[in-house]
Amino acid sequence: MADLPPERLHTCPPFTYVGVDVFGPWQIVSRRTRGGQAQSKRWAMLFCCMSSRAVHIEIIDSLDTSSCINALRRFFAIRGPAKQIRSDCGTNFVAAAKELGLSQQQPDFKVQNFLSQQGCSWIFNPPHASHMGGSWERMIGLSRRILDAILIQENIQLTHDVLCTLMMEVTAIINGRPLVPVSTDPESPFILSPSMILTQKVGVAPPHRDFTDKDLLSRQWKQVQALADRFWRRWRQEFLPTLQVRQKWRDSQRDLKEGDIVLLKDSQAARNTWPMARITAVFPGRDSKIRKVELRTSNQGSERVFLRPVSEVVLLLPND
């Protein structure tokens, strides 16, 4: 198992490093007509902070590039510009990153008047590698379960306004979850949650070390800083150690190399008909392990090139 991305371990403002994905859709009542009700679809775009684990959800009315860019603009207007965005290779994300100049091929490009003169890069995970985005994929699963619990009644008629309100309720529930097991220590009665750093409204008692009660009552900025310091102190002491445990993939194996012959997994085909491919390039990580490869396959005389994680290929014949 690879090391965590450095963004997961940075002490930085919320939503500085963001993972994003889209889920849905939901049928809503767009307008009433003489023949009944006109239906339309809505999707949700989820932004997940890589460090504080907070989420932000925006409703979009389509999966095209324009809707994706508009959701990004609303997100940056509320949460501030981000330094890095991670996502899968969805066509709307790739097109939006290319149109905004945030693609990984142009890491030094700065979007003027859009990110307040701060550079932002967009990193794409390889196709068929949902486990590389587990940080925000898990939040999408949690959002779906909360919505299923809220929309338990049958034949409920959603409108755009109702769906937006429900998404805000889902966001509040997720951001109020504890990041670590709730302590029974009377000296630490407060729950470490993303809302603690986002809203500063958890009823934290005034600190008795750095500032006095008089300062906290007269100077609100000091109280805000004290609350933020408390969050990040507990984040380092309690939350970070839980991220170091590797649940699987703990045995070291031979890395794939250029020239290896492999089988390309295809969920749409039977195992006996999986295509055979040759690895043409490998991409080592920070620890020099290979987790992403480029491979070439041939089908009826036409060659195709794919980018896949190593979990999607089966080694047949090593190059050596």
Rounded to whole angstroms, the Cα distance separating 137 from 134 reads 5
Between 99 and 21, the more confident residue is 21
Q: pLDDT band for 107, please (50, 70, 90 cuts).
A: very low
% of the chain with per-residue pLDDT over 90: 15
For residue 221, pLDDT beyond 80 = no
Query: How confident is the model over 260-274, as pLDDT tens digits?
Result: 999 988 878 776 788
Mean pLDDT of 14-42: 81
For residue 211, pLDDT beyond 50 = no
| 8-22, 110-124, 129-143, 225-239, range with the lowest pLDDT | 110-124
| Residue ranges per structural domain of the chain | 6-175, 194-243, 261-317
The pLDDT, as a whole number, for residue 153 is 56
Is 82:18 a contact under the CB 8 Å cutoff?
A: yes
Phi-psi domain of 30 (left: phi exceeds 0; alpha: psi -120 through 50; beta: other): alpha
Which position has the token pair 């995970």? Answer: 125
Is 295:277 a contact under the CB 8 Å cutoff?
A: yes
Tell me whether strands 17-33 and 84-87 are parallel, antiparallel or unpaired: parallel
Out of 3.30.420.10, 1.10.490.10, 2.60.40.1190, 3.40.50.10860, which CATH number does the structure's domain 6-175 have? 3.30.420.10
Rounded to whole angstroms, the Cα distance separating 208 from 142 reads 37
Alpha carbon distances (Å) from 182 to 186, 190, 197, 279: 11, 8, 17, 48
pTM of this prediction exceeds 0.85? no
Alpha carbon distances (Å) from 41 to 25, 62, 64, 74, 152: 6, 8, 13, 20, 19
Q: pLDDT band for 282, please (50, 70, 90 cuts).
A: very high
Length of the chain, please? 320
Query: How confident is the model over 36-82, as pLDDT tens digits?
Result: 567 788 999 999 999 889 999 999 988 888 888 889 889 988 998 88
The pLDDT, as a whole number, for residue 48 is 94
